[in-house]
Amino acid sequence: MADTTIPERIPINLVVNGERRALEVVPWTTLLDALRDRLELTGTKKGCDHGQCGACTVLVDGRRVNSCLTLAVMKDGAEITTIEGLARDGTLHPLQQAFIDHDAFQCGYCTPGQICSAAGLLAEGRARDADEIRELMSGNLCRCGAYPNIVAAIEQAMSRS
Amino acid sequence: MNNFQYSRANDVADVIRLLAADPGAKLIAGGTNLIDLMKENVERPSRLIDISRLPLRNVEETPDQGLRIGALVPNSDLAYHPLIEQRYPLLASAILAGASAQLRNMASVGGNLMQRTRCAYFYDTTTPCNKREPGSGCSAIDGLNRNHAILGASNSCIATNPSDMSVALAALGALVHIAGPTGERTIALTDFHRIPGDKPHVDTNLSTGEIITAIGLPPRGFARNYSYLKIRDRLSYAFALVSVAAALELEGNAISEARLALGGVAHKPWRRLEAEAALRGQAATPDHFGRAADLLLEGAVAGSHNGFKLELARRAVVRTLMQAASGTPQSQAHKKIA
């Protein structure tokens, strides 16, 4: 017989933006909801909640993932970087500065996901030109249509990294 | 999402024990398809067994010069693995044609095989769907079926399998290594997924209580003459309307070995040995490629909205074989079709 008792909250540890955070979660808590609702890091956005828009993109152990399709309990012990963790000592991350320089957003809702995804793209080192940036950023939608400026911003950060 | 129990497995024996103990349990690795379906209440497991920490992440050379790929290797790691890039570029290309960079980072190769064969009605719990609720009917047959199957479908289901990776694996003659309560077994990838018949709720021939442990690749990698061409409604991050994996070995302009598989057209990757046999010994010409396409597409039947797929698939097969023969595989970043 399937176990129908309500599961206990499960204690997990995450290192979020360099800081160790202990919390207890029910198994169906997504990493996105844990970040936003439990750790009050609301920079990471919930868009489609189905992995189609990329607004929830964060870095887990340095790799970009959709936090809406990730269970927090499965990432016990992982290092998470969100948009709040990219600036260093009051200086914007080169991608954040490049997005400002190139006016790479309008409403801004997709921007944290775009920037975290671009940070993952730079770390992967697979994009060499604008076409490859476009292809490897295709998991991040911008309904304002700032795509040309987003590509230009990433090209700037890529050339300076 | 329904409430469920959570167990973390440490090794394969642990997984088999946990699966046997809870018939409603499902395995979770990357979760990219399963969590999505759970959010729509299409999948409602009583327990998730977390297999993401199992030691199945190696890509190893086998004594026969093939490769053994652990079931938990992420899709992106496999696509960018030096042995795959150099020896099996068809597989690398197909993986990079699928999903998004984020999803490829999350999804495991075993999970890629286990993603549901599906259509929009499968996700829509307000409509009948034999795959979701056996016996309830198929909404797609008389509904919006533009993306649906033209080969191997039944009166019960016309959904297509969206995996790009599986299409390349089918062409390459890959094997699926499985462990279960009665031991280990290995089956051909082309026997792993099912056609729907009257049981469309069963996507694969993986039995209850079993787990995929690895994918096997035979030595032949077709690294010189291959191409993966994916035709879709937008240039990236969309399922195929039609996709083609083509691989050739050439002696001069004569074909000594040929592999051909289609995606986006059936409940499983579509490969037909007759089409490949017809190419062997022939010159690499559009006429011969067209004949192979006709054989591959034999028996194809269109629905009310996807008649275009018949000609699209034929042309895509010829084009992909031309790309393979000329040694100019389709780029997955630069989208112009050569």
When CB atoms are compared, the residue of A28, A63, A131 closest to B334 is A131
Give per-residue pLDDT as tens, B169-228: 999 999 999 999 999 999 999 999 999 999 999 999 999 999 999 999 999 999 999 999
Cα–Cα distances (Å) from B79 to A126, B40, B94, B108, B170, in that order, read 12, 30, 8, 11, 16
B101–A2 CB contact, under 8 Å:
no
Cα of B54 to nearest chain A Cα, Å = 12
Residue among A54, A50, A48 nearest A140 (CA):
A54
Residue whose tokens read 């095989």: B113
Are B72 and B57 contacting, i.e. CB atoms less than 8 angstroms apart?
yes
Q: Are residues A59 and A27 in the same domain?
A: yes
- CATH of residue A112: 1.10.150.120
Q: Looking at beta carbons, which residues of chain B come within 8 Å of A131?
A: 333-335
Residue-by-residue DSSP string for A100-140: HHTT--SS-TTHHHHHHHHHHHHHHT---SHHHHHHHTTT-
Number of domains in chain B: 2
Which domain does A98 fall in, by range?
A: 94-160
Angle at B231 between CA B331 and CA B115, to 5 degrees: 95
Residue ranges of chain B with per-residue pLDDT less than 50:
none
Residue B195 included in any domain: no
Quote the CA–CA distance of B24 and B304 in Å, as a whole number: 37
Cα of B256 to nearest chain A Cα, Å = 34
Q: Tell which of A85, A103, A125 closes a domain.
A: A85
- Minimal Cα distance from A50: which residue of B? B36
Q: So what's the pLDDT on residue B335?
A: 87
Residue A1 included in any domain: no
Q: Are residues A26 and A46 in the same domain?
A: yes
Token pair for residue A24?
């207890």
- CATH of residue A46: 3.10.20.30
A7–B6 CB contact, under 8 Å:
yes
Mutation for testing the A interface, residue in B57, B75, B77, B100 having most A CBs under 10 Å: B100
B31–A70 CB contact, under 8 Å:
yes
B236–A135 CB contact, under 8 Å:
yes
Q: Looking at beta carbons, which residues of chain B come within 8 Å of A54?
A: 100, 102
Higher pLDDT, residue A67 or A2: A67
When CB atoms are compared, the residue of B3, B35, B237 closest to A69 is B35
Token pair for residue A43?
């920079």
Q: Looking at beta carbons, which residues of chain A come within 8 Å of B35?
A: 30, 69-71
Q: Tell which of B52, B70, B90 closes a domain.
A: B52
pLDDT at A4 over 90: no
Q: What percent of chain A has pLDDT over 70?
A: 96
Cα of B313 to nearest chain A Cα, Å = 24
Please provide the average confidence, as pLDDT, over all residues in chain A. 96
Residue B187 included in any domain: no
Cα of A70 to nearest chain B Cα, Å = 7
Residue-by-residue DSSP string for B25-51: EEEESS-TTHHHHHHTTS---SEEEE-
Q: Are residues A99 and A80 in the same domain?
A: no
pLDDT confidence tier of residue A1, bands split at 50, 70 and 90: very low
Quote the CA–CA distance of B229 and B109 in Å, as a whole number: 20
Which domain does B229 fall in, by range?
A: 225-325
B106–A66 CB contact, under 8 Å:
yes
Token pair for residue B268?
């499983």
Give the up-direction half-sphere exposure of residue B53: CA atoms within 13 A in the CB hemisphere. Answer: 14
- Minimal Cα distance from A58: which residue of B? B102
Quote the CA–CA distance of B265 and B268 in Å, as a whole number: 8
Are B193 and B199 contacting, i.e. CB atoms less than 8 angstroms apart?
no
Are B32 and B52 contacting, i.e. CB atoms less than 8 angstroms apart?
no
Number of domains in chain A: 2
Q: So what's the pLDDT on residue A117?
A: 99
Residue A2 included in any domain: no
Are B92 and B85 contacting, i.e. CB atoms less than 8 angstroms apart?
yes
Question: What pairing do the DSSP bridges indicate for beta strands A19-25 and A10-16?
Answer: antiparallel
pLDDT at A3 over 70: no
B39–A10 CB contact, under 8 Å:
no
- Minimal Cα distance from B49: which residue of A? A74
Question: What pairing do the DSSP bridges indicate for beta strands A79-81 and A10-16?
Answer: parallel
Give per-residue pLDDT as tens, A17-75: 999 999 999 999 999 999 999 999 999 999 999 999 999 999 999 999 999 999 999 99
What's the farthest any 2 CA atoms get from each other in chain B? 61
Q: Tell which of A20, A55, A85 closes a domain.
A: A85
Complex-level ipTM: 0.96
A7–B80 CB contact, under 8 Å:
no
Buried b vs exposed e over B59-95: b needs ≥16 C-beta within 10 Å?
beeeeeebbbbbbbbbbbbbbbbebbeebbbbbbbbb
Q: So what's the pLDDT on residue B337?
A: 82
- Minimal Cα distance from A57: which residue of B? B102
Q: Tell which of A58, A85, A112 closes a domain.
A: A85
- CATH of residue B295: 3.30.390.50
B106–A65 CB contact, under 8 Å:
yes
Question: What pairing do the DSSP bridges indicate for beta strands B211-217 and B225-231?
Answer: unpaired
Residue A112 included in any domain: yes
| Three-state DSSP class for residue B332 | coil
| Three-state DSSP class for residue B207 | coil
- Minimal Cα distance from B32: which residue of A? A69
Q: Looking at beta carbons, which residues of chain B come within 8 Å of A132?
A: 333
Q: Are residues A39 and A103 in the same domain?
A: no
Length of chain B (residues): 338
